[in-house]
Structure 1
Amino acid sequence: MDDFLAARSQMALSLGFHIIYACIGMVMPFFMAVSHYKWIKSKDDRYRQLTKAWSKGVAIFFATGAVSGTMLSFELGLLWPEFMKHAGPIFGMPFSLEGTAFFIEAIALGFYLYGWNRFNPWFHWFTGVVVGVSGLASGILVVSANAWMNSPAGFDFDNGTYSNIDPIAAMFNDAWLFQSIHMTLAAIAATGFAVAGVHAFMILKKKNVDFHTRAFKIAASFGTIAALLQPISGDLSAKDIAVRQPAKLAAMEAHFHTSEKAPLIIGGIPNEETETIDYAIELPGMLSFLAHGDFDQEVTGLDKFAKEDRPPVLVTHFAFQIMVGIGMFMMLLAVIFFLSYWKKQWLDRRWFVKLFALATPLGFIAVEAGWTVTEVGRQPWIIHNVMRTADAVTPMPGIAYSFYIFTAIYLSLTVVVIFLLNRQIKMVPLLYDQPEDKSNH
């Protein structure tokens, strides 16, 4: 493995792990806050126990997210020094603000975890809300930095010189809003379905059904609402990409030849040598409509770009198809959920609960696929149309060994997280059986 491939692989591995921890850290505090609110209002002790159980999960993912995020921050400088040399002063503001949000989140989480029976009930609940809001802000700020790489702004570039730097314009670049909305909804949907799936599995095993039913309803409500909103966000993002990054859109759709009434491709295996796609279903004019709102509009194909400026089509197309396919399935589950809930029959159908249990990992698979589209679809640029990824990599040799070491670290971290979560799930019956301490609350 050459150093360039090793550097890209290490970054992909780190981001692939961190994005899961980050999504859960952004969303689960809100589940916790809703459960806590329900306990304060109803005094139903099952919500207190659920809140405590979820708060421990939040603490686990906060710690792992902090570790993986810190490693990523070092990797940016170690693996891509040329990129950070020029980009750091331009898009450093969102990273600085993200650090502030992280510290607020850490302080609020400390208050929350140790505030039981010490604070006023509503202040205690408020600290949990602060955990969620600051975590969400952290995620949006990081996405803003990534959006800048897709839509560079806030500087002038001439003959390799970066001048007239405006960090505010860089942070609020043309892509940040659409990417932030899309990523936030993806995080809510993925985490909602994952948490609901775990509790659905426990319902199927008939363990503390009443407890897990309450948890399932909260998590599934978040996840299904986000899943229904996500296609709207996806449509806005696609129209934005069609204007700013037409090569990425062409790679996503395996659209090799510029044409009017461009078809939407479903499935298929792209062949980059012959510039054709086999075994695909084509919907005439639909890509033109989705990209530009007009069935007859011309859509730019990969033939408009030099081969060295084209993204890898096979990976980008497959990742996009996986993301969309899972998103449509989650939408279907969301519709079934609300129909079943409306008819008050949702727990009477074992197949319905099984579907949610089987869907546990799907949201995060879609998130990983979407992130692959974002990053691979931007290649060969690390800063779109400004700096190539190959020009940003470190000249230091031996990066392959660093990749192997980081792989071992992340795998070990994952094993620890799985062990802690498994132990936490097994402790739920013990937590549920404990009497409520009414000394303060």
Structure 2
Amino acid sequence: MSLSSESIRTLEEEGLRFVRDLIRIDSVNTGDPETVGDGEARAARYIQDRLEEVGYDVTYVESRPGRGSVIARLQGSDPGRGALVAHAHVDVVPVDGQEWTHPPFGAEIHDGLLYGRGAVDMKDFAGTLVAVARAFKREGIVPQRDVIFAFFADEESGGTWGARWLVEHRPELFAGATEAISEVGGFSVPLGGRRAYLVATAEKGIVWARVRARGRAGHGSRPTADNAVVRVAQAVVALAAHRFPVERTSALDAVLRAADVADVHEITDETIDEIVAGLGLVAPLISATLRETVSPTVLAAGSKTNIIPALAEATLDVRVLPGHEDTYRSEVEAIVGEGVEFEWGDLIAPISSPDDAALVETIGEAIRAEDPEGIVVPYLLPASTDNKHLARLGIRGYGFVPLRVPDDFDVFGEFHAADERVPVDALAFCARVTWSILATA
């Protein structure tokens, strides 16, 4: 299903225009439902208008005032095949406290780079999907399987009012869907002397916890062994110092093979960190996938310097590998031992999809058509996306937003950063490859 040169040019031009228009809509998600505002709704309505212009039957949903999401389905030629969900989120993280050299909602282009909040996370893909959806209608092309275009609110705060809400309250919108494609992956990285495009076939789970110690309150001039602050501090130090064992996932081995690491199966827990550290630009990302992690993030205790408080606590960001859903609590608590108590939040469970699925091969073919030297490499995402919520409906998720960038351009480093930016020519590449994937998947 090829496009004419004129149709490709229109696809690329619309994609860039829609990405810029979406960036200019301030849809910051503060994490507080009372202060979010209506930016997500305005972004979703903009998308709805662009899709309805070319004849889509669009479902607009507000889970609560201002928290808008949009769903549209394109019928495929083979109704017996499972539908593919192509999704993006319309919210972005705040810019407060960051020093931007270009307006974060200006969508300005300088030296071939598009600047703005959401340039990679992830209004780039939202705008691209709108352009691709319009191209299908404009060209009268029917894909092989149903494609469900979805644009979610609230991804940046866990999807409570977006993908999660829709899965729980409007599951019929995803009827028949078996796979999904979205963030985080698809950007090119140098690996083993080749240009690799990472596809997230799995994601770590996430759970937040509190570790709390109770002691006897007293005057600061009379130190006591029963000091809650000290015990929480000791727990935090123990957690930060602990190194969980390495988990040799198939995705990790795929990255090591692509990096041309000799004797992959002979790598040990003692040597793996040094080997991964030598992977260059992608090293920090892959390093975070080697094992389970616990990051202490907030400490709270006391209100006055000369008072020993009776209570101290720390919050923990725990990332759980697939297969450890039933053991992570005992593993973490065993590191600290007695003297503190844990309060666990709800686990957003890890997910894992087949590395060898036909969709992964389709992605590879689409990349090779644009970049014959490029390779697609499965990896484990240490972060979290809306694919986790869709997984509750039995939908297998993959992270792939195709961006060909210079070898020294760190796409993952642009997420949530000041002066978030993306090369304009990478957006054109994204439009062409995404079209190919959705047309032939």
Q: Using structure 2 for the length normalisation, give the TM-score.
A: 0.29
| Larger RCO (alpha carbons 8 Å, 6+ apart) | 2
Higher helix share: 1
Higher strand share: 2
Q: Using structure 1 for the length normalisation, give the TM-score.
A: 0.29
